[in-house]
């Protein structure tokens, strides 16, 4: 029982830590920015969780909305995944 309680606390700490939150928000900002630059609809969807992640610093009650938008953005990215090589082909190197 004690090990289960400790494991639950550790998992809660990981998902509620500022470091993990900062890393996830930074990845969302990067993917959203890449999507905006390349015009990929699936990656542009990450702008929404990025904005919510930044607002979450002041309003922690947005956690559920934050997680849902990340899942929806991942789903949208996988739906539009076949378009990614075509979009990146146009990108000047």
What are the tens digits of pLDDT across the range 46-92? Answer: 888 888 888 887 887 888 888 888 888 888 888 777 777 776 777 67
Any residues with CB less than 8 A from the CB of 38 and at least 6 apart, and which? 87, 88, 90, 91
* pTM reported for the whole predicted model: 0.66
Domain total in the chain:
1
d(C-alpha 40, C-alpha 74), whole Å: 13
pLDDT digits (tens, 9 = 90+) for 16-47: 677 777 888 899 899 888 888 888 777 888 88
User: What is residue 7's predicted lDDT score, i.e. its pLDDT?
Assistant: 53
CA–CA–CA angle 18, 24, 28 (5° rounding)? 140
Residue whose C-alpha is closest to residue 77's, from 49, 46, 50? 46
User: What is residue 42's predicted lDDT score, i.e. its pLDDT?
Assistant: 79
Residue numbers of the domain that contains 11: 2-90
User: What is residue 30's predicted lDDT score, i.e. its pLDDT?
Assistant: 92
d(C-alpha 44, C-alpha 39), whole Å: 7
């Amino acid at each position: 029982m004690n090990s289960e309680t400790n494991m639950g606390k550790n998992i809660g700490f990981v998902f509620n830590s500022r470091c993990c939150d900062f890393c996830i928000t930074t990845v969302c900002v990067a993917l959203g920015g890449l999507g905006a630059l390349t015009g990929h609809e699936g990656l542009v969807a990450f702008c929404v969780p990025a904005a919510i992640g930044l607002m979450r610093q002041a309003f922690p009650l947005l956690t559920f909305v934050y997680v849902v938008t990340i899942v929806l953005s991942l789903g949208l990215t996988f739906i539009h995944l076949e378009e990614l090589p075509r979009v990146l082909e146009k990108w000047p190197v």
